Structures are given as structure tokens and as C-alpha cells.
Structure 1
């Protein structure tokens, strides 16, 4: 697809070293990796991830999502994912655009499109979806990134092209998923309120009834719909958030394992070490030493 070739060229121009790069365009990030990476844990926020070159795998619960030039990834909630680049080389690096989804802008577009629009979506969508890349979407994303060549145009034209990108999502194969993200009163919105509460209070114990009340759901309904979106229960989600935050504290702030475990809510150092090793494949000290020996091998976006 010509638009994806153009997009790959643009990403290479502005992401000249491996890593995740913020841009002058709000919510737009460029990702590059010149080699396959180790599985990395991260919290993915609602976003469109469009690959221009290479291939990546995202894992959520038991689900495996492979995306490349043919399929983009749409994230509809704050999800603790495991992701790694599976196809990349120095000659043909992995190149990807990540556009964070502005729910307010998405909602305003849904309202503008209301006349003659499809009925409101029902049910609870999964938090991750793969969709074939349409030429119109790829072209709009490429034109958005091309604005980096003309910084003075960004304040005026970037919002217009971003609206076009979101319009393509709302009218494409994944239109129901995109409309769920825009809704403020659907099941996805309720689950997102529960997710937000857990993320703000992850270090504290909670009763499922408390989170259900925050979401405006019954406890049984929360369990059902929370699992549909995140592929895990609220308590499993809390545990994943705790362990990922503990890893960050050890890596970025130099906390020892016991301090990090206590900070994120663990009373028992041995339990913390066991659960940490179960998730990351090694106890804290060995895991952190491995990451520090090869920091470029862990691409988190």
C-alpha cells in the first residue's frame, strides 16, 4: 500500500533511533525498533496502533494479537499488556504510529454523524481488536505524520486530520468498537470507570462491591463485563497493576524489592517475590539485572 510506504519513510525520518518518540502533534507517537524485542509489560491506554513496517505481538490474558501492515490494533481501555516486536532488522526496522484516542473528539464526531447513523452499539466489546487496514485510514495517518515536515501547519491542520482519522475508525470495519469508546453511558464506559478507580487505589485492598458501585453496576455484572474487556477479573487486574508499578519503582527509583512490594500493597515479601517471578519470569533482583543488561531490548509501546 503506497500510503504505508510513505508512512514508513516519514517514521524513519523522525524516529532515527530505537524507542518511542513523542512528537509535536498531540497524542501522536512514533515507535522504532531495529531488532526483535523481549516481551515487555506496560499499561496501554486507548489508542490506534498502525504498523508501517515489521510485526508486533500483544498479549492480553490468553489472547494473542499479531499486528502488522495488514492489520491495525485498536485499544479501547487502559489494559496491562505484554508486547514484543517479532519482525525487525537494521535494514528494515519495525516502524509504528500510535495515536491516543481523544474520547471527547470521538464523541463529538458521533453526535455530528447522528443523523442517519447506525443504531447505538450494544453489548461489551473486548479491550483489543484487530482490523484490516483500509487505504483511506492509512492515507489519513500518513498525512498527519507528514505535518511534522511543516511545524507551522500543525496547530491548524493536525486537529482536522485527526478528526478524519477518527471518522475513518467510526465508518470502517471497527465502527462499533470505536463508537463504544465514544459512549459515556455504555458497558465499556462503566468498565472504564472501574478501571480508573482500581488504578487510583491499586495499593489498597478493596471489596468488589465498592468497585461495582463506582462503575454503576452490580458485582456480578461487573465481573462479567470487566472480564469481557480486560480478559481478567478486577482482582487480577489490581495484582497486575501492583506488580508493574513495583517493577517501575525498582528500575526507575532504585527501591529495593521489599520497599517496592510494601509500597504497592504487599504485606508479605515472600508472596510479593513469588507473584513477581510468576508474572515477569524471574525474582525482582534477577529480572531487573536482566533488563539493565539490555535496556534497548524492552520496547514498551
Structure 2
């Protein structure tokens, strides 16, 4: 059972009102369930009106502001609880599992997603008068924090630009810089600083992760991967585990199993074909590792996922 990280709900009336106002704004722009790309660079709005089973999710350097509903994100042995008081900060491309646990037509999950412009982040970090952030020991590639009034207000103003597209080219970069500044005042700032620091070990590990994501079906040589990352094998293992809670081999296995599950569920592949497609040479090994990861053998797991989906559709 993954360990949980959870936010304390902020009861400041001004913060609560700011959350409600941002939720109303997102709902008015989206109108219906789905993924809604806006005219503001890097900003996508998510509106989901029903819970989901666990599904594969990939997180790039980004910020997600949750203002309604609840979602669980699992990375290694850590479960991040994202609710209406939360923001999720991703500093590196990591393979995680996500599950929407609270969402309905009356009270949908509402999220504002902002993809980071990393040159902009680095530019902000060069400023000499940045606030000193509270030290935080957390080193994984994901971090959950509590939204503040300043952060919510900046996000609201960024979304308001949807109504005045002629203002977007000038004002959007200014407001996004403010959002980065607001994040750098939180205990989670170290995650953003790490990935944006040129030459940092985190960036070298990110290079290894990118290679793995592109080549996970191939046999893995940790020595060659370390050369790709330009670091020693032991250093790679340490940094990799600190960011992802997994070793490179475990990371490759997770990518293979998640991809195989997705191919069986979405494309109707049988277990044998899916196993070979993602790089397994032994079907028995695939079935054994799949069961250990998802709790059921491949055929039973896919059957259960499809059954749950049908039940959800029937209830809707």
C-alpha cells in the first residue's frame, strides 16, 4: 500500500473564495467534460465528471492547480492526494499512475494545467531578490503543495486573458513569471529549482529518463544508460531512485507493464502479443510481473477494467 501525502485544507475565507472563483472560471470556460486547450500558451483546462480506474499518466515539467474534486497520483510507494486545496508540481518526466476518485456532473474535477516554459523559469531564478524558500527534504519528481491566495489570484488573472486574446502576447508572460515566483515561495520550490538548474544531476537523470521512455522495449544496459546521463552507475542509481522511487530496471518494467495494459485495454491486443510488443521474451514472466503490479493476471485485469467502465457508463 503506497504511503500517502496529504494536504491540510486551508480555511482562510479569502483563500476559499479565491478557490471557488477559480473553479467557477474554469467551469465557465470548459462548459463540459474533457480536455480544453486555451489560447494562453501552455494552459490546458481539465473538466472530468466521473471517477476513473487507475490509468497510466506521464508528467512533464508543469503545474496543476486543483480547485474541485479529488485525484490520487501514485509514484513508486508514494500516493499524492490532490484535492481542492492542492497544486501538483512536476519537475521531471515520470511514469505514474493516476486515478480520479471524486468527480460528478454536479461537482466535477476541475484542474488548471500550466506547462512550464523552462527558459522563463531559469530567467526568474537568476533574479537576486528572490525569497528564500523553506527547506524541504522531498526529492521525488512530483510534489504536492497547498495553494496560496497569491498563486490562486495569479492563475485567475491568467485565465481571464481568454476573454481578451489581444492581451495574451504581452500579459501572459508577465503573469506566468508571477506564478513561478509564487511557487518559489513555497516549500516545494526545490523541485522547480533542481530541474531548472543547468548542469544539475537532476537534469542528467532526466536525460536518462528520456532515453528510457524512448527505448523501453529494448534490452537495458545500466552501464550504457549511465554513459548517456554522463554519470557513474552508482550515482545514476542514487539519483534515479531519489526522483522516481525506482531503479532504472524497475522504471523500465513499469513502462513496459503500463504500455502493455494500455494496448490490451484500448487496442484489444491479447496478452501474448502485448508482452512481446513491449519487450518481454517470456510470457510467464510477463504474467507474473503484471499480476504483482496490478493485482490480477492480464486477462482478468482487463476484463475487470472493462466491466468497471461499463458499469460507470450505465450509471451515467
With the length of structure 2 as denominator, give the TM-score of the two structures.
Answer: 0.84
The answer to whether 1:217 aligns with 2:231 is: yes
1:277-301 deviations in Å (ceiling 9; x for gaps): 3323334444444444528969xxx
- 1:1-301 alignment runs, 5 A limit: 1=15, 2-111=17-126, 113-114=127-128, 125-293=139-307, 294=309
1:48-79 deviations in Å (ceiling 9; x for gaps): 11111122221111112112232311111111
| Equivalent-residue separation in structure 1 for 2:278 and 2:102 (angstroms) | 35
CA-CA distance at 1:204 after TM superposition:
0.8
For structure 1, the residue ranges without an aligned partner over 5 or more in a row are: none
| Equivalent-residue separation in structure 2 for 1:296 and 1:9 (angstroms) | 30
Q: Mean Cα displacement is larger for which, 64-73 or 74-83?
A: 64-73
CA-CA distance at 1:254 after TM superposition:
4.3
| Equivalent-residue separation in structure 1 for 2:254 and 2:168 (angstroms) | 38
Residue 7 (structure 2) aligns with: none
3-state secondary structure, aligned to 1:261: helix
CA-CA distance at 1:253 after TM superposition:
4.2
Give RMSD over aligned pairs. Answer: 2.7
For structure 2, the residue ranges without an aligned partner over 5 or more in a row are: 1-14
CA-CA distance at 1:258 after TM superposition:
2.3
Q: Which one scores higher on RCO, CA 8 angstroms, separation ≥ 6?
A: 1
Q: Residues 125 and 180 of structure 1 are in contact (CA less than 8 Å); yes or no, is this contact kept in structure 2?
A: no
Q: Mean Cα displacement is larger for which, 244-253 or 46-55?
A: 244-253
Q: Residues 192 and 7 (structure 1 numbering): CA distance in 2 closer, same or farther, change over 3 Å? A: same
| Equivalent-residue separation in structure 2 for 1:124 and 1:58 (angstroms) | 16
Q: Mean Cα displacement is larger for which, 9-18 or 205-214?
A: 9-18
CA-CA distance at 1:227 after TM superposition:
0.5
| Equivalent-residue separation in structure 2 for 1:297 and 1:40 (angstroms) | 15
3-state secondary structure, aligned to 1:160: helix
| Equivalent-residue separation in structure 2 for 1:35 and 1:49 (angstroms) | 19
Q: Residues 64 and 114 of structure 2 are in contact (CA less than 8 Å); yes or no, is this contact kept in structure 1?
A: yes
CA-CA distance at 1:87 after TM superposition:
2.7
CA-CA distance at 1:101 after TM superposition:
1.9
| Equivalent-residue separation in structure 2 for 1:122 and 1:216 (angstroms) | 27
Number of residue pairs matched by the alignment = 296
CA-CA distance at 1:41 after TM superposition:
2.1
CA-CA distance at 1:230 after TM superposition:
0.3
